[in-house]
Structure 1
Amino acid sequence: MTTYSLKLDGPNKEIKPGKLAGNKGSNPKGESFGFTNFYMLRNDQPIIPVVGEFHFSRFSYLHWEEELLKMKAGGVNVIATYIFWNYHEEEEGIFNWSENRNLRHFVDLCAKHELPLVLRIGPFCHGEVRNGGIPDWVFDKPLEIRSNDELYLFYAKRLYRQIAKQVKGSLFAEGGPVIAVQLENEYMHCGAPLDSWAYKAGVFMSSGKGGNSHLAELRRIAEEAGITPMFFTATAWGGAAVPETDTLPMLAGYAYTPWIPNQPPSGEYIYRDLHVKPSEEVNYDTLDYPVAYCEMAGGMQVSYTARPNVSAESVEAMTLVKLASGSNLLGYYMYHGGSNPVGKHGFLNEYGLPKITYDYQSPLGEFGRVGKSYDRIRSLSLFMDAFGSVLAPMGTVLPEGQSAIHPEDTESLRWCVRQKDGSGFLFLNNFQDHLELPDREGVRIELDTAQGKVAFPHAGHLTLKRDVSAVLPFNIELEGALIVSATVQPLTKLNMDGQPVLVFYAHPSLAAELVFSRTSVASVELDASQAVEEANAIVVTPQVGKEHAFTVVLTNGQKVSVLVLTREETLQTYKFRLWGEDRLVISDSRLYAKDERLVATSEGKASWSVSIAPALPEKALLASMGAVQAKREGLFQTYLIEVPAYEPALTVSKPLERSALVELDTNWPNHVSDVFLKVAYDGDVAAAYLDNQLLTDHIHYGEAWPIGLKQFKDDLEHKQLHLSITPLRKGTVHTFVNQALVERFEGVEIAVFHAIEPIPYYTVALYQAFN
C-alpha cells in the first residue's frame, strides 16, 4: 500500500474584481452575468459554464431546434458558433442568410430555449473552412488581410454591418441570447491554408499584423455597426494578441493534434495551476482573468494525413484535469459536428480534410449522431451545474512534483485538490493519451486540512483502474449534511416532495463509502446499505443502484435522501425541468425535453425503459406511440416502452468490390424518426452520392461510417445511394516525371465493404395525462 499525503495549510484563492469586473449586465427579466478575476457570475452567484460549439451553417436548419435541445440535455448551457464569411458572401456583394445560413433563425432558437450565445464573427475564423472563412474574391483585391489595411477594413465593416442587421435586438441587455462576441481568431498566432492559392499545398495565409491595434479597429467598427455585447472574447493561446480591456482571454486544449507529426503523449492530462501558469505562452496577466477554455477537444477532425481516434475516456479525463487545474469555464470544440455546405463554385473545405463531413468525432456529430463522450460530458456538466457555485471559488493545490510529471511517466499517481477553508474536492486521473497507464492498487490519500484530517478511503486503501478519472468531496456541507469524505462522485441534487436529494455515483473500481460528520448528522435510516458509527463520524457503505436510497437525519431533525447510482446508470442520467419541477431521468434511450414532453429516441432497439424521479402517479404519463408499462423502483417510476419493431428493407448491389449501390425503403412508420446506415469498410476514403451529388464523405480512421438519412428521406425514394471507396494502398509507389507525372504501384489495394446495416431510430414522446 502506498500513502500519499498533502497538508492544506496555504491561504484561500484570492478573489478580487479583476480586469472584467466592469463587464456585467442584466436583461429585462433581471437576470445578470458578471465576473471576478477567477470565475463568472450568474445572478451574482459563481458558476462554471459549459460551452458547446455548434456551427449552424454546417447543419440542416430544419433540425437546429432538436440539436440545440440535445445539447441542452447534454449539459451545455452556453452555445458558441462561427459565422464563416465565405459561407455568406461567397460572391462579392451577394450575401446569403437563408436556410442553413439563416443566422437570425439560429439566434432566435437559442433565445427560445434560454441558451446564451457567443458569436465568433471573424473576418478570419479558420474552423477548417476554405481560406479560414475569407472568401476567394478577397484575395484578388489589392489589400493585406488581417491588418488595418483600409480596403480590408472596408470589407470587414460591410460584413459586420450585415451580421449586426441579422442579430439586431438579440443582445443580452435587449432580452436576447448574445452575451459575447469573438473578433478574429488566433490572431498573431497562426493562419489557415491559403486554398485559393491552388498551386501548391502547404501555403498558409498571414497570421496577422498589427497586434492589438487591429483588434481595436475591428472592435470599433463592430460597435459602430451595433455589435455591443457584454464582453468580447479572444483566443489567447500561443502568444496571440489579447486586448487589455473588456475581453475574456480563452484557451485551448487538444491531445490529438494532427498538426504535430508523430505526436508523443500529450501534457493535457497533467495537473497544473493554470490560473498562475498556463500550459503555454500567453500575452496577459493570468491572475486578472478567470481560466476559460473555448476550445477543449470534444473530439478531433480527421485529415487525410492524420487520423486520430479520440476516445470518450480522453474527453472525460481532460475535462476533469482542466477543472482540477483551475479552469472555471469549459468550452468544447467541437461539441456538435456537421457537414460543410457545397459552394457555388466548388467545395468549401480546407485542403487535406473531407470535402463534406465535419463530424469531428464530437459528442454530437454529423446528422445528429450521438457519441460516447456525450454521456461522459453530461455527467460532469450535471456536477458543475449543481455544485459549481461551491467549486468555482476553490483554488488549486498541487502535491509536490505534480506539474512536473512527464506525460510518458506511467508510475506516478496523478492527483490534486481544489479547496477553500479546508473543504474541497480531490481529483484523480489515470488516463493518458497514446499510452496505457496501469491499474493503481493499494492507494491511500491523506489530507491534513483546516477542518481536520481526512483520508480516501476512510480506512484501508483503494484501487484506481486504468482510464478512470474521478472527483471526490471532502469536508463539504451539502444540504446541511457535512461529508467528511466520500469515494463516490457527486453528480447532482434536487428536491422530491420537499426533501433534498443528493445524487452520487460509484466508479466500478472504487469501493463506495460516504463519511458523515456527527456534528451535522444524527443518524442514518438504511435499507440495504450498511453504516458504522464512530465517535465523530458515521461511515456508510451504500447499496448502489437507482432502486436503493437511504436517508440522513440531520441534528436539527431535517432529513436528506442520498442516492448512489452505478456508473452505467450515471451515463444514462439526465436532469430536466418537467411537469412543474426538476426531475432526474435515467434511460437507455436518448432524451431531450420540449414543450412539456420528454422525447426518447432508441437507437435500434424497439423496447427501452425511462425511469423518472420524483415519480408521477402510475398513469400520469401517456406515450405518443407504443405500449407502456409502469413499475416503481425506489424513488423512481420506471416506464417500459415498446413499439412495433421495424426492419428497413435494404437492397445492396456491388458492381465493383469498392462500390455499393444501396436502395432503402423510405416508407418509415411514424415512430421511426431516422434511419442511419452503419457502413463497416476497409479502405482509404469513402464517399456517398445521390443523383451524382456528393452527400457526405469519410476518411477511414478505424471506426464504422455512420450516415443519417432523415434529411435525404424524400430524395432517396426509389433511388440508389452510391457508396464508393478509394482503395488503401499497401506497397510501393514509384513516381517519375516524363513530361507528365507517371505513377506505378506495386502491392495490394484494399477497398472492401464488410457490412452495410440500416439502424432505425425509434422516437416516442411521454407527456402528462389530463383528465
Structure 2
Amino acid sequence: MNRIRTLGAALLLVALGPPAGAETLLKLDARAEALAPQTGYLKLGAARSPQGHTLAANSQYLLRDGQPWLPVMGEYHFSRAPASQWADQLRLMKASGIDIVASYVFWNHHQELPGAFNWKGNHDLRRFVQLAQAAGLQVVVRLGPWAHGESRYGGIPDWVVDRMPTRGNDAEYMGLVERLYAEIGAQLKGLLWKDGGPVIGVQLENEYNLRGPGRGEEHISALKKLALKAGMDVPLYTVTGWDGTVYPSGEVTPVFGGYPDEPWATSTQELPPKETHAFRFDTRVSGDLGAQTRSHAPGTAETDKDKVPFLGAEYGPGLPAMYRRRTLVSPDDIAAMLPVQLGSGVNLFGYYMFHGGRNPVGVGGTGLEESTLSGGYNDTPRISYDFQAPLGPDGQQRPVLTKLRPFHYFLRDYGARLATMTVRQPERTPANPADLQTPRWAVRAAGDSGFLFFNNHVRQYAMPAQTGVRFEVQLPGGTLTLPSRPVDIPTGSYFIWPLNLDLDGVKLRYATAQPVARLDAGAQGIVHVFAPTAGVEAEFALADGAKTMSSQGGQLLTIGKAGGRPVSVLLLSQQEAAELQILDIAGQRRLVFSAQQAWVADGKLQLRGPATQPLHAAVFPALAKPKAPGLQMRQDGPLQHLEFKPETSEPTLQITASRPALTAPPVLKGGLAKAAVQPIPEAFATAATWSLKLPQPLAPNAEDVLLELDFVGDIGRVFAGARMLDDWYYNGQRWQIGLRQFALKPGAELQLSVLPLRADAPIYIDAAHRPAFAAGQTQIAELRGARLLPIRRVAITP
C-alpha cells in the first residue's frame, strides 16, 4: 500500500501548457431547465416511524426525512444460507456500502407440503429481519407468491401448481396466497417502518406481464390488497418493470435491472454487446432480463416513466449458472455498469445477487431448483446458487467487491446531491450498443453542479482508447471545459468526475478523479476521498483557476478551511481504493485499508481472512488503544497499521482417485428453450470420482475451512455419504465450499464426482475457460487440484 503523505511544500503546483497533438472535444448542453419533481401520484403506505422519521418518493427520487436519498440495495436470500452466518454476513454487507437488504420469501421453502408453515432455523424470516436491523440495514421483502429466483415453479409449491391455476385471481389460489401473506405479515409484525422497524418496502409478484381476465392490473391490485390485509403497510410497494410488465399505475413503483450477459439465452456463442454497458436516455427497460413469460406489448413502466422514480433492483454483480450457457464475468464487466446506470438516471442501485447461497433440499431429496425436468425454462444446479456474487455462499470476498465498494461509498456521501440531478445527453451518442467507436458518456446536473459519467468498457469487446479527449459542458452559469489539456482515456476505463462540487465551502471546479467519500476526521479536519482514474493523471481544479493540483495517489492535500478546520483532498492509489472500507469504529467514521474483510460487531473491529496469511489493516484516523491477542501495531504517517502473523499452514487433504470416467452420453436438446438440457440422473454413472479425506482434527482454531476444487468437466458434485453437500457447473471459476456448516465428523471422507464434459456438448463456456480438447479427445473429467483453506477471524478492541 502506498503511504498516504501530507504534501505541504512538496505539493506539485503546475501551470499546464497548451495541448500537444490533436484534440477531441466532446460536447454536452446542460442548460435546459429541469422538470420539478411531482408528488401525490404514487399511493404509498405508512411513511412515518414512531421516532418521527419519514420515507417518501416523488416522481424522481426517494426522500428520507425529507432529504433526497440514493441508497444501494443488495439481495441476500435468508433461506438459501445458514442462519448461523446471517449476523456477520449482514454486517459485511453494511460495511461494503449496502443500505438495504432484499430477499425473496420462497413459498415452497416454507410450505413445501400442505399444512403448517416452517419459519424456523434457516427459514426464520423474523430473525433475519431483526439481524438486518441490528446491522443498520433497511429491508425490502419480496413476497411472491411467484418469485422465480431460479427456483422450482418460481417458488410456488408443487401441491399448488398441481391443483389449480396460478399467477392470477383464481379464487382457490388467492385463498392460499392470502394465507401465505398472512403468515409473512405475522413474521414482520412490529418490524415495519411504521413500527420503528427496518422493513421499508415489499415487492408483489415478479416479472409479471400476463394479461387477460383476472390477470394484469387486476392481479397486482388484488395482491396489494392482500398485503395490506395482512398488515404489511409500508412506504414502498414495488413490482419489476422489465419485459412488458403490467401493473396498476400509481399503486406500485416499478424497479429495473440489467445484466452484462444472458445465461438464460440459447446461443452457444458470444452475444453482441449488451445495452447494460450503454447509457440510456429514452427508456429505463434494459432488454431481455429472462422473464419466464413473454409480452408483445409495451409495459406500464414505459408509460409511467415521468411519473415514478428510476429505481433499480436487479443489476447483476454476477450471473447464475445455467446448464446450457455458463458465463463467467470479470470484475470490470460488473463495475462498468455503475457509472452507466447512475449516469442514465438510476436513483436506487439494487443488486441481484449480492450474496450467494445454496438451495435447501426438499422433502425426500426433491430438488427445489429451476429445471427442465419440472417444466422450467432453465436448468440450474441442484444446490449451488453461487451467482458469482461479491460475497460468496460462505461469505468469501470476491474480487468484484473491491471494484464496487468505492461507488457505494460515493453514493452514501454524495448520493443526496446526485439524486436531484437530471440526466443530460451528449451532442454525439453511440448509434446502438454495438457502436464501440463513439464515446459513451453522460452528465447529471442540477444548476451549475453535476457529475460526468464515462464508460469505455464492454464485456468481451475491446473498446478503442479515446485519445486527446476534453469535455465541454455548457451549464447555466457558463461553459466548463475539462481537463486543462487533452487526456487519453484507456480501453476499459470507466469513471465518475465531479463538476463544480462544493467541498465544505471550497469549490472544486472539476477533478479528473472520482469522489469516494467525505470523512470528518475530527481535529484533522474534513477529508474528501478520491479514487484515481486508470491511465489519467489526477487533476484538481480549484475555483481561482490559477493552478491545478496533480498527484499520483496516496497523498493528502489541504485545499481550504471550514469552521477553522482544514478541508483536504485525499487521492488514493489504485491499491488503496481497492482495499478501502469505511467503518464506524468507537463512535467515529474511519478509513480502513485491508485486503481482508473488515466490519464492526460488538463495538470491535473484525478482520477475516486466510489463516495461512498475515491479517493486516491500516486505519485512519488512528484508534486510541487497539487491543487483541497477537496484535502488532505501528504508525506510518497518519496511518495506523494493525497486523497479525499467519496462524497455521494449510491442512493436508488426502486425495485418492477411486473411479475412472466412463463415456458420457451425448447432451440432449429440448425443454422450453429447445437447447441443451442437463443430463438425466443415470448419466452420472459415467462420472469420475475421487475420495477426499479430511484431516483429524480439521483446523480446530479456524472459523471455517473452505474446500477449494479446481476441476474440469461438466458437473461436479460433493457428497458426504449419501448426502450431496454442493454441486457445480464447470465454468472456469474455482469452486469453494465452507465445511463448518455441515458438522462433519473428524476425519470424514468426502466424495467428489465429475461428470465428463463432451467435446461436442452444445454448451457455452467463455473462450478463456473452455477446455482445449486434444486431437481425438472426446471428453474431459479432470481434478487439477484440491485444497483446504482455513479461515480465521480476529476482533480488535478499539
TM-score (norm 2): 0.86
In the superposition, relative to structure 1, how do residues 666 and 366 fare at CA in structure 2: closer, same or farther (>3 Å)?
A: farther
Alpha-carbon distance in 2 for matches of 1:505, 1:208: 54
Aligned residue number for residue 560 of structure 2: 553
Amino acid at match of 1:653: T
**Correspondence 1:265 to 2:277:** no
Aligned residue number for residue 597 of structure 1: 604
Amino acid at match of 2:130: D
**Correspondence 1:185 to 2:193:** no
Aligned residue number for residue 192 of structure 1: none
**Correspondence 1:314 to 2:321:** no
- SS, match of residue 621 in structure 1: coil
- SS, match of residue 427 in structure 2: coil
Moved more, 30-39 or 440-449: 440-449
Aligned residue number for residue 637 of structure 1: 640
1:362-761 matched pairs, under 5 angstroms: 362-402=389-429, 404-458=430-484, 460-498=485-523, 499-518=525-544, 536-545=545-554, 548-554=555-561, 558-603=565-610, 605-617=612-624, 620-623=625-628, 625-633=629-637, 635-657=638-660, 658-665=688-695, 667=697, 672-712=702-742, 714-731=743-760, 748-761=778-791
Alpha-carbon distance in 1 for matches of 2:416, 2:387: 31
Q: CA deviation at 1:7?
A: 3.0
In the superposition, relative to structure 1, how do residues 670 and 626 fare at CA in structure 2: closer, same or farther (>3 Å)?
A: farther
Aligned residue number for residue 175 of structure 1: 196
In the superposition, relative to structure 1, how do residues 297 and 731 fare at CA in structure 2: closer, same or farther (>3 Å)?
A: closer
Amino acid at match of 1:266: K
Counterpart selection for 1:217 from 213, 219, 222: 222
- SS, match of residue 241 in structure 1: coil
- SS, match of residue 552 in structure 1: strand
- SS, match of residue 489 in structure 1: strand
Alpha-carbon distance in 2 for matches of 1:555, 1:680: 55
**Correspondence 1:136 to 2:153:** no
Amino acid at match of 1:269: H
Alpha-carbon distance in 1 for matches of 2:445, 2:76: 33
- SS, match of residue 448 in structure 1: strand
Query: Is the 8 Å Cα contact of residues 451 and 475 (structure 1) preserved in structure 2?
Result: no
In the superposition, relative to structure 1, how do residues 6 and 234 fare at CA in structure 2: closer, same or farther (>3 Å)?
A: same
Alpha-carbon distance in 2 for matches of 1:496, 1:537: 28
In the superposition, relative to structure 1, how do residues 112 and 277 fare at CA in structure 2: closer, same or farther (>3 Å)?
A: closer
Alpha-carbon distance in 1 for matches of 2:109, 2:635: 52
Alpha-carbon distance in 1 for matches of 2:577, 2:794: 22
Aligned residue number for residue 287 of structure 1: 306
Alpha-carbon distance in 1 for matches of 2:652, 2:362: 34
1:153-164 matched pairs, under 5 angstroms: 153-164=174-185
Query: Is the 8 Å Cα contact of residues 606 and 643 (structure 1) preserved in structure 2?
Result: yes
Query: Is the 8 Å Cα contact of residues 455 and 485 (structure 1) preserved in structure 2?
Result: no
Aligned residue number for residue 256 of structure 2: 251
In the superposition, relative to structure 1, how do residues 751 and 28 fare at CA in structure 2: closer, same or farther (>3 Å)?
A: same
Alpha-carbon distance in 2 for matches of 1:761, 1:37: 47
Moved more, 24-33 or 163-172: 24-33
Moved more, 87-96 or 239-248: 239-248
Deviations 1:587-606 (A, max 9, x none): 12111111111111123652
Alpha-carbon distance in 2 for matches of 1:732, 1:671: 44
Q: CA deviation at 1:732?
A: 8.6
Query: Is the 8 Å Cα contact of residues 697 and 747 (structure 2) preserved in structure 1?
Result: no
- SS, match of residue 69 in structure 1: helix
Query: Is the 8 Å Cα contact of residues 185 and 234 (structure 1) preserved in structure 2?
Result: yes
Amino acid at match of 2:571: V
Query: Is the 8 Å Cα contact of residues 13 and 420 (structure 1) preserved in structure 2?
Result: no
- SS, match of residue 363 in structure 2: coil
Counterpart selection for 2:138 from 110, 116, 119: 116
In the superposition, relative to structure 1, how do residues 245 and 409 fare at CA in structure 2: closer, same or farther (>3 Å)?
A: closer
Query: Is the 8 Å Cα contact of residues 698 and 747 (structure 2) preserved in structure 1?
Result: no
Q: CA deviation at 1:652?
A: 1.1
Query: Is the 8 Å Cα contact of residues 25 and 33 (structure 1) preserved in structure 2?
Result: yes
Deviations 1:558-578 (A, max 9, x none): 520211001221111111111
**Correspondence 1:238 to 2:257:** no
TM-score (norm 1): 0.89
Q: CA deviation at 1:43?
A: 1.7
In the superposition, relative to structure 1, how do residues 55 and 387 fare at CA in structure 2: closer, same or farther (>3 Å)?
A: same
- SS, match of residue 715 in structure 1: coil
In the superposition, relative to structure 1, how do residues 570 and 660 fare at CA in structure 2: closer, same or farther (>3 Å)?
A: same
Query: Is the 8 Å Cα contact of residues 271 and 398 (structure 1) preserved in structure 2?
Result: no
Alpha-carbon distance in 2 for matches of 1:60, 1:592: 19
Deviations 1:76-128 (A, max 9, x none): 10011001111111111132111111111111111222311111111111111
CA RMSD in angstroms comes to 2.1
- SS, match of residue 163 in structure 1: helix
In the superposition, relative to structure 1, how do residues 666 and 583 fare at CA in structure 2: closer, same or farther (>3 Å)?
A: farther
Query: Is the 8 Å Cα contact of residues 260 and 334 (structure 2) preserved in structure 1?
Result: no
- SS, match of residue 106 in structure 1: helix
Aligned residue number for residue 77 of structure 1: 99
Q: CA deviation at 1:406?
A: 2.2
Query: Is the 8 Å Cα contact of residues 707 and 787 (structure 2) preserved in structure 1?
Result: yes
Q: CA deviation at 1:688?
A: 0.6
In the superposition, relative to structure 1, how do residues 447 and 30 fare at CA in structure 2: closer, same or farther (>3 Å)?
A: same
Q: CA deviation at 1:401?
A: 3.8
Q: CA deviation at 1:556?
A: 8.1
Deviations 1:428-471 (A, max 9, x none): 1011123121232322222232333333322x221222222100
In the superposition, relative to structure 1, how do residues 277 and 232 fare at CA in structure 2: closer, same or farther (>3 Å)?
A: closer
Amino acid at match of 1:237: W
Query: Is the 8 Å Cα contact of residues 633 and 640 (structure 2) preserved in structure 1?
Result: no
Q: Which structure exhibits the higher relative contact order, with contacts defined as CA atoms closer than 8 Å and separated by 6 or more residues?
A: 2
Amino acid at match of 1:255: P
Aligned residue number for residue 743 of structure 1: none
In the superposition, relative to structure 1, how do residues 140 and 553 fare at CA in structure 2: closer, same or farther (>3 Å)?
A: closer
Deviations 1:364-405 (A, max 9, x none): 122222212212221100000000111111111111342x53
Amino acid at match of 2:604: R
**Correspondence 1:42 to 2:42:** no
Between the aligned residues of both structures, percent identity stands at 33
Q: CA deviation at 1:224?
A: 1.5
Alpha-carbon distance in 2 for matches of 1:570, 1:207: 52
Alpha-carbon distance in 2 for matches of 1:181, 1:699: 33
Aligned residue number for residue 319 of structure 2: 300
Equivalent pairs counted in the alignment come to: 712
Q: CA deviation at 1:409?
A: 1.9
Alpha-carbon distance in 1 for matches of 2:562, 2:703: 52
Query: Is the 8 Å Cα contact of residues 265 and 435 (structure 1) preserved in structure 2?
Result: yes
In the superposition, relative to structure 1, how do residues 278 and 18 fare at CA in structure 2: closer, same or farther (>3 Å)?
A: farther
Query: Is the 8 Å Cα contact of residues 242 and 286 (structure 2) preserved in structure 1?
Result: no
In the superposition, relative to structure 1, how do residues 666 and 269 fare at CA in structure 2: closer, same or farther (>3 Å)?
A: farther
